[in-house]
Each structure stands twice: as structure tokens, then as C-alpha cells.
Amino acid sequence: MNNEFQPVNDGEIISLNHQDIGRQLNLASHGFDDVQVKSEQFAKVIRRRLNIKDAKGQTLFKEGIGCEVFKSGSTGLQKGRLRARLVMEFCPDELINDFPELSQDKYFSNDEI
């Protein structure tokens, strides 16, 4: 099994099973089993579902929310803001070689070389 995750870029299409995931995120399926969405739209949906705001109205994914963090090696809590970033990565079940090695004998006879 492959464990090589690669970034999903803006504009790439993500196809999700509507029953499993799409319904949880309120994505319209228009009667189909799967729902297709651009990666940046999917990220927007996730951020909207996790619309976490602090008392000042600051959001987790933009300005950051007020919090305190006990950092390793420090002597106590430090006040500040916490901001989250959403990074989507994809790991194919099977690696696909889009450019197989070209062997000369497969495409040319010895007379042509």
C-alpha cells in the first residue's frame, strides 16, 4: 500500500461519495451517488463547517483565535492567537506511471537507429 501523500492543487477535481462525505458537508449531489467539487471549493466548505470564532469575532482560519499555549520548554502559558491552515493531500491507492520508460527496441528496429 502506498503512503506517499502529495498536495492537491487548486483547480483539481475531488470526487466524493455523497452518502459518506458529501451529505455531512451539505454538498449537493443532484441525485448522483458521487459529488465532484474543485479542491479550493472543498477547502472553503470545510472552513465554513469549522467556522470557529473567539469572543472578538476572529476566526480560526483567518485572523486566528485568542488562546493560551504551554510551549515545550517554557515556564507557563503564553497568551496569543491560534490560526489553522487547511492543507489537502492525496495518496493514490496505486502508483501510476504516466511516462513508462521508452525502450528503443520496442519502437525502433535496429535498422532505423
DSSP string across 70-95: --TT-SS-EEEEE------EE--SS-
Q: CB–CB of 93/3 below 8 Å?
A: no
79 pLDDT band (50/70/90 cuts)? very high
Residue-wise burial string across 65-75, b where 16 or more C-beta atoms lie within 10 A, e elsewhere:
beeeeeeeeee
Domains of the chain, by residue range, sit at 6-96
Q: Does this model's pTM top 0.75?
A: no
Instruction: Summarize pLDDT for 36-60 with one digit per residue, the tens.
Output: 889 998 898 888 888 888 888 888 9
Contacts of range 22-31, beta carbons closer than 8 Å, 24 or more positions apart: 25/49
